[in-house]
Amino acid sequence: MIRAQLRNPLSYRSTPTSAERNAPRFRLRLRQIAMLVVGLIFVLVKSYEGLHAFFASHPQVWMALIGSSAAAGLTAIGALGVLFTRRISERTQDVMLGYGGGIMLAASVFSLIIPAMNQAQALSYGKTAAVLLTATGIMLGGLFVLLINHLVPHQHFIAPNPQIQSARTSRIWMFVMAVTIHNFPEGLAIGVGFGGDEMGKAIALATGIGIQDIPEGLVVALALRTLGYSPWKSAGAGILSGLVEPIGGVLGALATGVSATALPWALAGAGGAMLFVISHEVIPESHRQGHETQATLGLLAGFVTMMLLDTLLG
């Protein structure tokens, strides 16, 4: 028996282990993963080359992306403030909302609506025709946001509707959607601004919207915090709500690049969208808790701030 084992030791070898049986499959998976990684790298390189070429041929889109991303970043900074404070007074919230509304109001007038009329006249429209074009664009922009309000379920972020009975996860998404609807026209306005011919006004517009995004992000995050959400979840929802601004910025810049004729329409439409948000969302929210005077003073301060920015940078 011993001699037989010595002559043919493999005949007495035990059955293959599971590791030995799975070795070919493991090597196959490694090859598949390697091929996937190489493919992803190739796609990323080609995507980078394509994006680089696109932005090189459309510099206004690149500037709009930077400006709207900066505004989204300032929204995130404001939302992160909830990590350092649990609550601020209702009066302070209303003043901050009013201040943001004032900035948006001045931005709509000085950086969007007036330039829309100027652009229309530069395209050989008469004064009356330019005013009518701008007025029509304003109405279309407001109706666009109104349509979004009806199509997308949401609830106001300062005074939630007590009749809405839903789970906590559903409610937080309702809040996020409300502020997302609010932020999209802001990103759109930034994109349209950079798509125009006046870079100074576009920078002033992006700066003003970014400034008002800071208290807005904080107020939204604090509203969620008072409902019992954790600081990080509240901050995350506030940050998430601002991510739509770069999307709006790119779309706004692309809209102005369709043709020169589209620019005054886009400017007026963005202004109308902003005016709708101010009247339908910001001002009612700032007055909802009984501090109308303080909120109005904040609105005046915000209007003056944006007017100065537009004058100094425009």
pTM of the model: 0.69
How much is the pLDDT for 135?
96
Residue 71 has pLDDT above 80, yes or no: yes
Point out the least confidently predicted range of 87-101, 168-182, 201-215: 168-182
State how far the Cα of 13 lies from the Cα of 11, in Å rounded to an integer: 6
pLDDT in tens, 41-52: 777 666 666 666
Residue 225 has pLDDT above 70, yes or no: yes
pLDDT in tens, 262-285: 888 988 998 998 899 888 888 888
Residue 69 has pLDDT above 60, yes or no: yes
State how far the Cα of 20 lies from the Cα of 160, in Å rounded to an integer: 61
| SS3 readout for 223-284 | HHHHCCCCHHHHHHHHHHHHCHHHHHHHHHHHHHCCCCCHHHHHHHHHHHHHHHHHHHHHHH
How much is the pLDDT for 159?
46
Q: Average model confidence (pLDDT) for the chain?
A: 79
- Are 172 and 237 a contacting pair, CB within 8 Å? yes
| SS3 readout for the chain | CHHHHHHCHHHHCCCCCHHHHHHHHHHHHHHHHHHHHHHHHHHHHHHHHHHHHHHHHCHHHHHHHHHHHHHHHHHHHHHHHHHCCCCCCHHHHHHHHHHHHHHHHHHHHHHHHHHHHHHHHHCCCCHHHHHHHHHHHHHHHHHHHHHHHHHCCCCCCCCCCCCCCCCHHHHHHHHHHHHHHHHHHHHHHHHHHHHCCCHHHHHHHHHHHHHHHHHHHHHHHHHHHHCCCCHHHHHHHHHHHHCHHHHHHHHHHHHHCCCCCHHHHHHHHHHHHHHHHHHHHHHHHHHCCCCHHHHHHHHHHHHHHHHHHHHHHC
State how far the Cα of 226 lies from the Cα of 166, in Å rounded to an integer: 17
- Are 274 and 185 a contacting pair, CB within 8 Å? yes
Point out the least confidently predicted range of 143-152, 172-181, 223-232, 284-293: 172-181
Confidence of residue 9 (pLDDT cuts 50, 70, 90): low
Average pLDDT for 52-57: 71
Of all residues in the chain, the percent with pLDDT exceeding 70 is 77
Residue 290, phi-psi category: left (phi > 0), alpha (psi -120 to 50), beta (remainder): left
- Are 244 and 180 a contacting pair, CB within 8 Å? yes
Residue 151 has pLDDT above 80, yes or no: no
Average pLDDT for 236-254: 87
Confidence of residue 152 (pLDDT cuts 50, 70, 90): low
| C-beta neighbour count of 17 within 10 angstroms | 9
262-277 and 114-122 helices cross at what angle (nearest 10)?
170
Tokens of 167: 């789970």
How much is the pLDDT for 217?
85
Q: Between the CA of residue 171 and those of 161, 237, 311, what are the distances in Å?
A: 10, 11, 42
How much is the pLDDT for 280?
85
Residue 7 has pLDDT above 60, yes or no: no
- Are 137 and 272 a contacting pair, CB within 8 Å? yes
Give the CA radius of gyration of the chain: 28
- Are 213 and 78 a contacting pair, CB within 8 Å? yes
How much is the pLDDT for 21?
60
